Homo-oligomer: A and B are copies of this chain.
Amino acid sequence: MKYLNQHEAISVDEELFNEYKFSVDQLMELAGLSCAHAIAEAYTPDSLKTNKVLICCGPGNNGGDGLVAARHLSLMSYEPYIYYPKRTEKALFANLQHQAECMGITVATECPTSDRVEAEFGLIVDALFGFSFKPPVRDSFKPIMEVLQKSTLPIVSVDIPSGWDVELGPQSDCDIKPACLISLTAPKLCAKHLVNAKHYLGGRFVPKTLEEKYAMNLPTYKGRDLFVRLN
């Protein structure tokens, strides 16, 4: 299986929208749903000290995947709580937030303290930055990155562990250590730097022709599964 560099990841994404004519709504729904399913496989509610999940959503599409995953987790015996500090004007994101709130999920702008996170939650989902991220982390996200770095809770990263260089992996000033990574579409090069972490692939929507063009050599998804374990 191929690990994509940042340029390839961006090109694959653009082709899905421009050549294959998928809408962001469609693929974000499928990506977020596959994250929720992989989480439900990796961390069943009764394997956690509580079913409360802190979902940290960044300003871009990675954050959107988190908003979708939160909604689906709330339909599967989890109690998500969303930290979503930087919102965009785009209707899609406002609607995803509204849908989550309609499901009874709190969507907060205030960064939770480390003490609160450790006391209240059983799992953290890191949907802060995705494959278009370039270090360093902006100041406004440093407080939540610090919470994630300090936490003893398992962290599930969506597509890219936040703060990591998409190709080079952990950066000295800001390296969170996810217990689980869910790569979307295809893994990116940074995933080679995972240590003692579960690794899943989600985003079961890649057309064969696109897979072949980028020589992705994706693994086979089993049955109806929306994810596949890579290690």
Cα-based distance from A205 to B29 in the complex (angstroms): 11
Number of copies: 2
Q: Are A20 and B102 in contact (CB under 8 A)?
A: yes
Residue A136 lies at the interface, judged by CB distance under 8 Å to chain B: no
- Please determine whether B103 and A208 come into contact, CB atoms closer than 8 angstroms: yes
A40 within 8 Å of B (CB atoms): yes
What size tier do the contact residues of chain A reach?
Answer: 20 to 34
CB distance from A85 to the nearest CB of B (A): 21
Binary contact readout A89-116 vs B (1 if CB under 8 angstroms, 0 otherwise): 0001011001100111000000000000
A215 within 8 A of partner (CB): no
Q: Write out the residue numbers on chain B whose beta carbons fall within 8 Å of the beta carbon of A103.
A: 207-208
Is A205 a contact partner of B92 (Cβ separation < 8 A)?
Answer: no
Beta-carbon contact of B22 and A95 below 8 Å: yes
Most buried by B among A26, A30, A99, A223: A26
> Which of B26, B37, B104, B223 is within 8 Å of A76, CB to CB?
B223
Which one, B209, B221, B224, contacts A102 given CB within 8 A? B209
A1-37 to B contact mask, C-beta < 8 Å, 1/0: 0000000000000000001111101100110010011
22 CB < 8 A contacts A-B? A21-B98, A21-B99, A21-B102, A25-B29, A26-B26, A29-B30, A30-B33, A33-B33, A36-B224, A40-B224, A41-B224, A71-B205, A75-B204, A75-B205, A75-B221, A76-B221, A76-B223, A76-B224, A99-B207, A102-B207, A103-B208, A224-B226
